[in-house]
Amino acid sequence: MAKESGRKIIAQNKKARHDYFVEQTYETGIVLAGTEVKSLRAGSVNLKDSFVRIENGELTAYGIHISPYEQGNIYNRDPLRPKKLLMHRREINKLFGLVGQKGYTLVPLSLYFSGSYVKVELGLCVGKKLYDKREDAAKRDSERQIEKVMKGKSHDF
């Protein structure tokens, strides 16, 4: 688990950045049970196929898999249960208007501890086309090659 600016990152959704262009990010709280928080502290969570819907004026996250806590026995919850996200009403209404537009979707990008609270970094995203994904892969490869060449030249002097 990496630390950056007072955050202790639990999990990141790398597939989301591969499949979507992230237009904006938002910080939201998440409603969890005690055994789920203990499981998060152990780092057993998967955000791979997760998404967020706005239903009845509330944000609900689907597909966030939090593995059952080892010592939780009867207090463990269903690992894939829908989880409520906490955000101000005004922001939810703004997101509702944006998601109503063509192509926008809400995707959890990362899960982290901010102090003693668990937070979700939510991304307002637009789906990438196949040629966009190929272009990104080609750009990454060329940057790696440039880095390799630059690293090799710095040793020659």
What is the residue-level pLDDT of the chain in tens, covering all 157 positions?
555 567 888 888 888 887 888 888 899 998 887 788 888 888 888 888 888 888 888 989 898 888 887 776 776 777 778 888 999 999 888 888 888 877 788 889 989 988 888 898 998 888 777 777 788 788 888 888 888 888 876 554 4
Angle at CA of residue 52, ends 50 and 58, nearest 5°? 145
pLDDT at residue 5 in the model: 61
- The length of the chain is 157
What is the three-class DSSP state of 140?
Answer: helix
Tell me how far apart the terminal alpha carbons of the chain are, to the nearest angstrom. 38
**CATH (one of 3.90.1520.10, 1.10.760.10, 2.40.280.10, 1.20.1600.10) for 3-128:** 2.40.280.10
CA distance 109 to 131: 22
Per-residue pLDDT, 157: 46
pLDDT of residue 4: 54
Domains of the chain, residue spans = 3-128
Q: What is the pLDDT of residue 97?
A: 84
Whole-number pLDDT of residue 156: 47
